[in-house]
Structure 1
Amino acid sequence: MHRRRRTAFLLSAALVTAAPLLSACGNDAHPGAAAVVGGDRITVSQLENRVNEVRSAQRAATTGEAQYEQAIAKSGGLTRDTLHGMVLDRVLHQAAQDAGVTVTRKEVQSFRGDLEKQAGDAKALEVAWLQQYGVAPERLDDNLRVQIEAQKLAAALGTDTSQPAFWKALSEASKKMDVDLNPRYGDWDVEKSSRVDAKLPWLREVTSSGSKETA
């Protein structure tokens, strides 16, 4: 995952790529968990609900099955990217707390108001966030809070979100929170504060075996 994509305007839920929804049952250490962050579980059910929110919003915003399928194709890997956002939100919040950064509801509403003016109206903003970043309308305020938090954290650090100092703070927060992903969804790269695909020996073996059978 390119750092530019992670630091572009949206820090969470901005990554959209198509893997089918995985009905994970959790790893041995954390049954039913898609991830454990700072001792708190992000359950598979919570992850699936977030993905379903986006899919429902996409269906409501499209006309006909063909248009809906096209929207899905543009948001592939949604499950893994949604989990990435859910974990990164928590890591960022920890880093912000460590730096004494807080975000008020008034700041979120003011930011949203400015964006709605730029987009045309509230509905246009919701559609834009859904199409570009995979953010369901009911999660828009939460997402905007994350953006403000990231900008204020960067300012507190005397840097911006594209610079190493910012990502170092997130890396330190990742270490502090001991992020643990269910291997089915990948691994968490502490240094980059990013989800990465897991390199599982059994997966390579199955892939290799399958290749031999079809050769």
Structure 2
Amino acid sequence: MHRRRRTALVLSAAIVAAAPLLTACGNDAHPGAAAVVGGHRITVAQLQSRVDEVRRAQRAAVADETQYQQAVAGTGTLTRDTLHQMVLDRVLDRAARDAGVTVTAREVQAMRAGLEQQAGGPEGLRRAWLQQYGVPPQRLDDNLRLQVEAQKLAAKLHTDPSQPAFWKALSTASGELHIDLNPRYGAWDVQKGNAEAKTPWLRETSAGAQRAA
């Protein structure tokens, strides 16, 4: 595995392992909201729109209804997982902002170019990110920005995502945001929720770290 690929993916296992540091403020979400993060609502409609993006992309990527139903069956907790992803992404954004970390379009495109080369081209990357992580094509650059952001945050803290310093930053950001999750989507419990979310910066670190060892 290329060094850049290992570095990008080393973020996931550490985030899963240290995730209990990220806590919520309660379960009484504002009316009409799937979650409230930093005083800003993630509405049920916004959440459903994100889920629909994935379902449309899954449908377009397969040849028949049977394959589509298999894809749906394999992502049966998509709504809950999508919400937990959306919340954790905002936690990362806050931690990065607190640390003075910014990400440029050039950095995102550099990561995308490297991943496309490994995946056999742009279409291969889009297909892999949809199948493995439930990331539709129109969200790919957003997802890669988060990977760059997590890398740069760890570097700014002179640590890596497996170390307490990285998790202290995310824990602090989580507390500052006063996360309030609608109980219908579960509790803000990273071990039971976010650890199951299918997103590269959250999921592939364990495998990447094992291969790099």
Aligned residue runs from structure 1 range 160-199, under 5 A: 160-189=160-189, 195=193
Task: Tell me how far apart the structure 2 counterparts of residues 136 and 194 of structure 1 sit (CA, whole Å).
Answer: 24
State the match for 1:139 in structure 2.
Answer: 139
Alignment of 1:56-205 (within 5 A): 56-189=56-189, 195=193
Q: Distance in 1 between matches of 2:62 and 2:127?
A: 10
Aligned to 2:18: none
CA-to-aligned-CA distance 1:21-63 (integer Å, 9 cap, x gap) = xxxxxx8751110000000000000000000000000010011
Computing the radius of gyration over CA atoms, which structure comes out larger, 1 or 2?
Answer: 1
Conserved 8 A contact 1:115-1:125: yes
Q: Is the 8 A contact 2:112 2:144 kept in 1?
A: yes
Q: Does the Cα contact within 8 Å between 1:88 and 1:194 map onto a contact in 2? A: no
Q: CA deviation at 1:76?
A: 2.1
The corresponding residue for 2:55 is: 55
The number of aligned residues is 175
> Alpha-carbon deviation of 1:83?
0.4
Rounded to whole Å, the distance in 1 between the matches of 2:14 and 2:51 is 18
Distance 1:94 1:193 in 2: 21
Is the CA contact (8 Å cut-off) linking 1:126 and 1:140 kept in structure 2?
yes
1:178–1:188 distance in 2 versus 1, CA, 3 Å: same
Q: Share of identical aligned residues, percent?
A: 67
Aligned to 1:8: 12
SS of 1:188's partner is coil
Alpha-carbon separation, structure 2, partners of 1:10 and 1:28:
29
1:193 CA drift (Å) = 8.9
Asked whether the equivalents of residues 126 and 136 of structure 1 are also in contact (C-alpha less than 8 Å), the reply is yes
Q: Deviations over 1:127-164 (max 9, x none)?
A: 00000001010000000000000011011111112223
Distance in 1, matches of 2:146 and 2:193, equals 18
Structure 2 gaps of 5+ residues are 1-8, 16-26, 195-213
The gaps in structure 1 that reach 5 residues or longer are 12-26, 197-215
